[in-house]
């Protein structure tokens, strides 16, 4: 049985604290389930320009806390917190505190990290993918242990903690919903085994944003990724929620021309771009039909759009949420 649709917004730019609070409240009023933030550190400059990544002005964790305080039902989330930017024990305590203070509204996204230029700029070693994913696996198990009663006694290659109990305990038990995502088979298989929400993303092995990553998220590639998730999840597949970031969302008449131009710049045909699971092009009715088709095809029911599309996309949210 298909899971009901729900929708999230991925961050937005705010010039002031009051603008951030008002933006969170507006997101809630429009019926979105959650407000997500990415987890990026560096500001404007040549290091950021070299990555092709957009600027994220606000740090994820305090911004999530303020958004929760400004709203009453909106869930706060992370797509995703980079495990290499904080020791595992600090990350787990901060996450549990966010769930405690938001009265159970946290969705905890965790990732192995990928933006090499940011690592280099802030002096964090960028280990091979194999090592980063090993560390993510240990961190996932540690976070679950930290959010469970009892003394910690964790001894691993990357994560070690002993002689204390995790505090505070989160409101959501046994832990807040955990989101893990990516584009490689190993990460998606790990997510299928350990997460509650599996986020389908590009394969960002190049360490920068660009055509290679977008081409790794086509319709055929997404179908293959869902197959990896199904194989790794086994009997728990039906319990998983599949999420995707629709980074290229354009609502309105004539957006097929935008899709064609975007596809050309990314080495994809207009048809491939219109069917790209990370894109949505058309009026609200056409997008609703396309999301229902994709849910039937892939099982994806949780859709995240960028802040620039939030208001135009709201009719889709109103029509499909909970259906």
Mean pLDDT of the residues in the chain:
94
How many structural domains does the chain have? 1
Residue 205 to residue 163: CA distance in whole angstroms: 38
- pLDDT tier at 157, thresholds 50, 70, 90: very high
CATH number at 204 reads 3.20.20.30
Q: What is the pLDDT of residue 254?
A: 85
309 in Cβ contact with 251 (< 8 Å): yes
Identify the domain containing residue 253 by its residue range.
Answer: 6-320
Q: Is residue 47 exposed (0-12), middle (13-18) or buried (19+ Cβ within 10 Å)?
A: middle
Is residue 192 included in any domain, yes or no?
yes
Residue 202 to residue 194: CA distance in whole angstroms: 20
Is residue 69 included in any domain, yes or no?
yes
Mean pLDDT along residues 256-269: 88
Strand partners, 180: 110, 198
245 in Cβ contact with 201 (< 8 Å): yes
How many H-runs (helices) and E-runs (strands) does the chain carry?
A: 13, 13
Q: What is the pLDDT of residue 289?
A: 97
Is residue 258 included in any domain, yes or no?
yes
**Does 204 score more than 80 pLDDT?**
no
Q: What is the pLDDT of residue 267?
A: 87
Is residue 147 included in any domain, yes or no?
yes
Q: Is 115 helix (H, G, I), strand (E, B) or coil?
A: coil
**Does 207 score more than 60 pLDDT?**
no
Reference 23, options 8, 13, 37; nearest CA is 13
Q: What is the pLDDT of residue 209?
A: 58
Q: What is the pLDDT of residue 176?
A: 98
Is residue 105 included in any domain, yes or no?
yes
Q: How many other C-beta atoms can be found within 10 angstroms of the C-beta atom of residue 34?
A: 26
Mean pLDDT along residues 217-230: 94
Is residue 40 included in any domain, yes or no?
yes
Of residues 60 and 264, more confidence is placed in 60
- pLDDT tier at 208, thresholds 50, 70, 90: low
Mean pLDDT along residues 199-224: 79
- pLDDT tier at 102, thresholds 50, 70, 90: very high
Is residue 1 included in any domain, yes or no?
no
Residue 73 to residue 102: CA distance in whole angstroms: 9
Task: Express each pLDDT in 160-191 by its tens digit.
Answer: 999 999 999 999 999 999 999 889 999 999 99
**Does 210 score more than 70 pLDDT?**
no
Q: What is the pLDDT of residue 154?
A: 95
Q: What is the pLDDT of residue 123?
A: 97
């Amino acid at each position: 049985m298909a899971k009901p649709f729900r929708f999230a917004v991925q961050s937005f730019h705010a010039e002031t604290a009051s603008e951030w609070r008002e933006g969170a409240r507006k997101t809630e009023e429009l019926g979105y389930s959650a407000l997500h933030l990415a987890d990026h550190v560096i500001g404007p400059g040549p290091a950021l320009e070299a990555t092709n990544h957009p600027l994220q002005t606000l740090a994820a964790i305090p911004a999530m806390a303020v958004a929760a305080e400004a709203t009453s039902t909106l869930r706060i989330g992370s797509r995703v917190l980079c495990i290499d930017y904080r020791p595992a024990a600090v990350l787990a305590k901060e996450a549990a505190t966010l769930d405690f203070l938001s009265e159970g509204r946290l969705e905890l996204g965790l990732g192995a990290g990928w933006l090499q230029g940011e690592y280099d700029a802030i002096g964090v070693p960028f280990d091979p993918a194999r090592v980063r994913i090993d560390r993510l696996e240990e961190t996932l198990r540690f976070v679950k242990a930290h959010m469970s009663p009892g003394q910690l006694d964790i001894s691993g290659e990357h994560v070690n903690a002993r002689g204390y109990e995790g505090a505070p305990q989160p409101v959501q038990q046994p832990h807040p919903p955990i989101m893990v995502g990516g584009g490689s088979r190993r990460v998606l298989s790990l997510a299928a085994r350990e997460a509650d929400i599996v986020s389908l993303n590009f394969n960002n092995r190049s360490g920068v944003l660009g055509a290679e990553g977008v081409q790794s998220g086509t319709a055929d590639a997404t179908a293959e990724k869902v197959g990896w998730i199904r194989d790794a999840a086994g009997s728990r597949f039906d319990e998983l929620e599949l999420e995707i970031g629709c980074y290229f969302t354009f609502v309105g008449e004539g957006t097929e021309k935008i899709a064609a131009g975007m596809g050309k710049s990314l080495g994809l045909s207009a048809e491939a771009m219109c069917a790209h699971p990370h894109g949505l092009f058309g009026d609200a009715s056409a997008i609703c039909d396309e999301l229902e088709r994709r849910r039937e095809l892939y099982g994806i029911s949780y859709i995240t759009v960028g802040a620039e599309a939030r208001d135009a996309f709201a009719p889709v949210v109103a029509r499909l949420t909970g259906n």
